[in-house]
Chains A and B, each alone.
Chain A
Amino acid sequence: MNIGWYLAVSALIFTIGAAGVMTRRNPLVVLLCLELMLNAANLALIAFSRMWGNSDGQIFAIIVMVVAACEVTVGLGVIVAMARRSVPIDVDELRELQG
């Protein structure tokens, strides 16, 4: 099968994820969308890996998964802490970084 299809799916998923990150206000959904973006990248890595018949891309995908797992752990922890302190679960309300 042509590599173009894999890349098209990957790009589609990445765009969906990016759009979600930019538009959704629930941090849980934002995290989900981030996962989508990472996995879109993984898909592209594995597709290229198959194309070249070389396992470097697959190893790289596994590393990305590890990073994603860490990121989700931290992100979920933050969200749980927010819920416990009854901070509104809404990224637009968290504006302490405003200059």
Chain B
Amino acid sequence: MQTTSWLILAFPLAGAIINGLGFRALKGRAPGIVGTVAIGAAFISAVLTLIKLQDLSPEHRGALFVGWDYAKTVGVDAKVSILVDPLSVYMALVVTGVSTLIHLYSVTYMTSDRGYARFFAYLNFFVFSMLVLVLAGNFFLLVVGWAFVGAASYLLISFWYRRTTATRAGIKAFVINVVGDIGIVLGTYFLFRNTHTLDFIGTFRQAGTIPHGDLTAGLILLLVGAFAKSAQVPLHTWLPDAMEGPTPVSALIHAATMVTAGVYLIARMWPLFEHSAAAADVGTIVGALTLLIAATIGLVVTDLKRVIAYSTMSQIGYMIMAVSAGAYAAGLFHLMTHAFFKALLFMAAGSIIGAMAGEQNLDKMSGFRRAMPFTFGCFVVGGLALAGVPPFSGFFSKDEIIAVMGQRGGWHWVLFVVGYIGTFLTAVYTWRMIFRAFFGEPVAEAAELEHGHLHHAEQHTNPANGEVEDTDVGFPGPDHHIAEWSVPMRAAMGILAVGAIGLGFLQLPFNGTNVVDKFLEPSFRGSKYFGSLHPTDSLTTIGLIVGAVLSLAGIALAYRIWVVKPGTSTAIRERLSGVHRFLVNKWYFDELIDLVVVRPFAWFGRFGQQTFERIFVQGALVDGTSGVVRAGSATVRALQSGLVRAYASLLVLGAVAVGLYFLLQS
């Protein structure tokens, strides 16, 4: 087991190094194949680890493998160690499994891009970082993985580095992620100063002995990290902008894997969160707020990928809410089903964007149903799963979360209601997107595609601001690809579609098939919620019925607004223009952050520059020092008259003075 679990990390790293250093030698699609094989091998290693893990008795499922001591000084035990238990293996399986398919999809999707090898090097590096994060056995390695993932995300968002909008989005994502990194580091400090160990298991063992104030402060700081990485309010503004990256990146990083790191972190830290109800409540409430806010914004966004991005935020809100409130298995189950259907939706969106020659605006799309039946099918499967229609996977996972909220009782009933409002909104915005893109009169691009010809833009432009671009390195390549015409893309999407349909059966309600529950159980041994927090049968029944009805009602509403009476949305928008403006401006979060953080800091910076820098540093320190030196040297220079006789006189005078001194001394 030790070998296979280290191999999970080794393969992606090897792929990143081969692609990163060997990009000159690797011709054609070789980098893509190397990258895909590397991740595929990591997936196989993860499966082998799983098999070996299942061979052990449940009490012994969980092993800490120490690679080497990184630093061992006064009281700090920073080791490179990985923790292999059901939870980390579960995450590793999801990450490597979905990543393999997305790599496969990218092999074709990115073909014409000049940065092909660079793309796969980054993508492999990302998977490596993510696996370091999930396999980390102590806080030290967790921070390393956490920061690596942020860096990989930055590199991939800014992959088209000559697009100013993309580089800007990359910087935004990186800065907000660094805020989260600081939260993680400081949170670790608060825990470490009480436990004196960085090791997870050692920390958890002492969870009860940490003073309550320090524990809550540390956990809230850890939550800041989780919120930044998982795009939760108010640190979410980077995620929609991150859609500037290539579509496979959006599918892999900003939907399926990286943004779920916060969910994993909270689930991993469960022994601590169960000792601090305050911190857990913060997580629960922020998750609920995010799921509602993101869902409302999703109703009005017109950029295809951003609609899916907001739905990602919303779904991660569900997961954060779940794991913070003790519904660990439900949250992690939703994490897995979401990874499948969201990656599928992004891939299908990539196919449409390919057909639209890079255009992402929903207003310009219509009637792709006949032109791209396969993409349409995938979109429908993903949309049904996301909306939570039975028996698709999202139905079971989402309703389990909501039912557990009801089971917690007390104020968690509010979250129960919020969850169902979210379900309804999710169905509306998801199907708004599908109806707008696939139904109605075919646009020119769709009509062209129906005749078997893929539209090519006369001039390549940035879809965000219309700037004219070329197709050289640093910009997207000249050719676009759609799923219908490419076997690898179809294969990847087909597998994901099967997962999106069928994964729900892993964990059927009423103790049907509790595969996820049973598998994760050893990781949550001793939890006060994991074993006991099961919704009653009546609650589950009501939940399932309400969930199914609400999601179907949402789809029906979307159908009515955007298909039956296409003018309705305009009418609603005009009647509720204030609400619409509020939502289009994304609840003014960008402006709020600008007002609260950016401007005060900019003002403080200007103030510092004008007063401290200009008057003290420049005036007193720099000019003062140089003034003293200048005055001194001016005096000395005046003595250099150039008159030899004067020098001789000085010499004689000096000698006489020395002589006189010694005479007088004696």
Contact = CB atoms under 8 A, between A and B. Distances in A.
B641 interface: yes
Interface residues of A, number: 14
Contacts of B640: 97-99
A92 B642 CA distance: 8
A21 B644 CA distance: 9
A85 B644 CA distance: 20
A21 B648 CA distance: 7
A95 B638 CA distance: 13
Contacts of B636: 99
Interface string A8-49: 000000000010011101000010000000000000000000
A97 B645 CA distance: 12
Contacts of B459: none
Given A22-B645, A91-B645, A99 B652 contact: no
A25 B644 CA distance: 10
A51 interface: no
Interface in B608-666: 636-645, 648-649, 652
A22 B640 CA distance: 16
A23 B636 CA distance: 24
Nearest to A34: B648
Contact of B652 (A18, A91, A95): A18
Contacts of B645: 21-23, 25, 91-92
B648 A92 contact: no
Contacts of B641: 95, 98-99
Contacts of A91: 643-645
Nearest to A98: B642
A30 B641 CA distance: 19
Contact of A94 (B639, B644, B648, B649): B644
A95 B643 contact: yes
B631 to A, nearest CB: 15
Q: Which of A18, A21, A30, A99 has the most CB of B within 10 A?
A: A99
A99 B648 contact: no
Interface in A49-99: 91-92, 94-99
Contacts of B648: 18, 21-22
Contacts of A95: 641-643
A99 B639 contact: yes
A23 to B, nearest CB: 7
Contacts of A30: 644
A55 B255 CA distance: 102
Interface in B334-366: none
A97 B636 CA distance: 13
Nearest to B650: A22
Nearest to B653: A22
A13 B542 CA distance: 127
Contacts of A94: 642, 644
Nearest to A33: B648
B166 to A, nearest CB: 59
A96 B642 contact: yes
A22 B642 contact: no
B651 to A, nearest CB: 9
A29 B616 CA distance: 58
B637 to A, nearest CB: 4
Contacts of B642: 94-99
Contact of A22 (B637, B638, B639, B649): B649
Nearest to A27: B644
Contacts of A22: 645, 648-649, 652
Nearest to A91: B644
Interface string B20-44: 0000000000000000000000000
Contacts of A25: 645
Interface of A: 18, 21-23, 25, 30, 91-92, 94-99
29 contacts: A18-B652, A21-B645, A22-B645, A22-B648, A22-B649, A30-B644, A91-B643, A91-B644, A91-B645, A92-B643, A92-B644, A92-B645, A94-B642, A94-B644, A95-B641, A95-B642, A95-B643, A97-B640, A97-B642, A97-B644, A98-B640, A98-B641, A99-B636, A99-B637, A99-B638, A99-B639, A99-B640, A99-B641, A99-B642
Interface of B: 636-645, 648-649, 652
The 9 tightest CB contacts between A and B, nearest first, are A99-B640, A98-B642, A95-B642, A99-B637, A97-B642, A91-B644, A22-B649, A21-B648, A18-B652
Given A23-B645, A94-B644, A99-B637, 10 more contacts: A18-B652, A22-B648, A22-B649, A25-B645, A91-B645, A92-B644, A96-B642, A97-B644, A98-B642, A99-B636
